[in-house]
Structure 1
Amino acid sequence: MAPESPSSSSASSSSSSGGEGAGVMQRMVAENPVVVVGRRGCCMCYVARRLLLGLGVNPAVCEFEETAAEADRVVDVEVPGGDLRRPMTLPAVFVGGRLLGGLDRLVAVHITGELVPILKEAGALWL
């Protein structure tokens, strides 16, 4: 599996096999302050990315194919920073190597004013 060339100025990766995809995702989460994981072409992934870009954060994006088998593997990957396997909803937003949550959680912490401090702590913002 070869990562795609970065689109605009963000790191981007796509996967065609679940085993490799989980490893790529975990590596991206470890190497980047903010990562958005989702299915290719997902409108909610686009919204999460646009919200972060609007705040001045350039998230890495890890996209997976739409096939049912692929989606099942991605949703059941081990969440970095956690000791248990648990289902992961997509899109999933990782900040500072930890799972923040899905789009609903991202919007909720943004509305309450908690998102910017979380992003600063992770090193994604230098305001």
Structure 2
Amino acid sequence: MTFLGPDSNQIFRYLPQYTKVTYTSTLIHTQTLRQLISMEKISNLLEDKPVVIFSRSSCCMSHTIKSLISGYGANPTVYELDEMSNGPEIERALVELGCKPTVPAVFIGQQLIGGANQLMSLQVRNQLASLLRRAGAIWI
């Protein structure tokens, strides 16, 4: 198999494409690896907990989401990132997982649900209670 034909510059048409593919696949691999490491950090905090909320003590939306979930009778595990020594590290891990903004970040049944917009959307569509029931956070 030869890339050089009558026009010896033909190889330069293939080289940039090959370089892009290699760079892209390396970039994807690095991003996937970061996400796996981030998920491992977060999953240790989620273990055996039906509802976990990553919050900041000064965030009004975090307070609203905590109140909403508690209103169903659930007892969420709340991590106040601004009060934790490894809070910035956890916040970076949440960003790697796609949480933007990072707080509130809600996990129900060890699954990332999202932030305030996603939770409010579930509430409006009357789907939040069933999600909490399936996770074992509430019984009724």
TM class, shorter-length: 0.5 to 0.7
Letter in 2 for 1:74: I
What is the match of residue 93 of structure 1? Answer: 106
SS in 1 for 2:90: helix
Unaligned stretches of 5+ residues in structure 1: 1-21, 80-84
Quick check: which has more Rg, 1 or 2? 2
Of 70, 77, 81 in structure 1, the residue corresponding to residue 93 of structure 2 is 77
1:56: Cα distance to partner?
1.0
Distance 1:99 1:63 in 2: 17
Residue identity (%): 33
- RMSD (Å), alpha carbons: 2.6
Distance 2:117 2:68 in 1: 12
Task: Provide TM-score, normalisation by structure 1.
Answer: 0.66
Q: Report 1:1-127 matches (<5 A).
A: 23=41, 25-65=42-82, 71=88, 73-77=89-93, 85-88=96-99, 89-127=102-140
Q: Specify which structure has the higher proportion of helix.
A: 2
What is the match of residue 7 of structure 2? Answer: none
1:78: Cα distance to partner?
5.9
Task: Provide TM-score, normalisation by structure 2.
Answer: 0.61
1:29: Cα distance to partner?
1.2
Equivalent residues, number: 98
Runs of 4+ in 1 over 2 A off after TM superposition: 25-28, 73-76
1:31: Cα distance to partner?
2.2
Q: Structure 1 residues 50, 98: CA separation in 2 closer, same or farther (over 3 Å shift)?
A: same
What is the match of residue 5 of structure 1? Answer: none
Distance 1:96 1:36 in 2: 12
Letter in 2 for 1:47: T
CA contact (8 A) 1:33 1:123 kept: yes
1:61-99 per-position Cα deviation (integer Å, ceiling 9, x unaligned): 011128xxx54x3333168xxxxx433231100000010
Q: Specify which structure has the higher proportion of strand.
A: 1
Letter in 2 for 1:64: L
Q: Structure 1 residues 87, 74: CA separation in 2 closer, same or farther (over 3 Å shift)?
A: farther
